[in-house]
Amino acid sequence: MYKKVKRMTASMRIYHWANALAILVAVITGFYIADPYYQAKIAEPAAYKYVMAYNRLLHFVSAIILDVLFIVIAYLYFFSRFEKPYKKLIPNYQNIKEFIEVFLNLVTLNRRKNFDTSHSDSFNVVWFTVLHLLLLLMLFTGFQMYVAGLAHGTSSIGAWWPWLLHVATDWTLYVFGGLHGVRIVHHLTTWIILIWVMFHIYYQVWRTIFWREGDIGIVFGGYKFKKVK
């Protein structure tokens, strides 16, 4: 017998898929900006010649979407009325024990399952927190590379914008050893995020197969099914 359990609200699902789409666009356009891998010298019409400009525009827009979503999700971590994920990040006995049990459940292929699967567990919360920290690092390094191109100290919206970016991101130059180091960290973090995404998809499919509780449906309908003894 199974009990239907709500795990994600409609807004949470929207944020999830908006994040996924923005990451996909940012990765594809980012790879092109770093190394143009398809034809940029298209004949006619002339509007289609600005391939790099379009890629940069899409990259910038997707980055802004990710930045806004980061702020929204950070707020929900503490003030959501549905659930407050920050509580799972507190390193107390209960959370540490649950984290270990979920990990053991994974590595033993579900032979050991000593935790409640009807709510978001500490392992998943930590895993998603890692993603958002990686996206935050991408924000700072990306804006530092962007402001480096505004060497004249102004922009189409005024001098305040480059000034603000310098104040917020110049620390990355000292931490990562200059602009070259910032660029390397930005690119390396992209690959780490791709690894994160691959494991995330694998783990959700894995849980759906081994737990048989419909976890893959959470991001589509918001619900899963918990087996009642």
Q: Which helix (H) or strand (E) holds 87?
A: none
Cα–Cα distances in Å, from 93 out to 3, 89, 97, 99, 113? 28, 11, 6, 10, 18
pLDDT tens digit sequence for 177-200: 999 999 999 999 999 999 999 999
Which among 62, 197, 74 has a CA at the least distance from the CA of 142? 62
The pLDDT value recorded for residue 57 is 93
pLDDT of residue 16: 96
The answer to whether 206 and 106 have CB atoms below 8 angstroms apart is yes
What pTM value is reported for the model? 0.90
Distant-in-sequence, close-in-space partners of 41: CB < 8 Å, separation ≥ 6: 49
Computed over every residue of the chain, the mean pLDDT equals 92
**What is the pLDDT confidence band of residue 42, given thresholds at 50, 70 and 90?**
low
Q: 61-107: per-residue pLDDT in tens?
A: 999 999 999 999 999 999 999 999 999 999 999 999 999 999 999 99
pLDDT in tens, 128-149: 999 999 999 999 999 999 998 8
222 membership: H or E segment, kind and range: none
Looking at the DSSP assignment, which residues form a beta bridge with residue 2?
A: 227
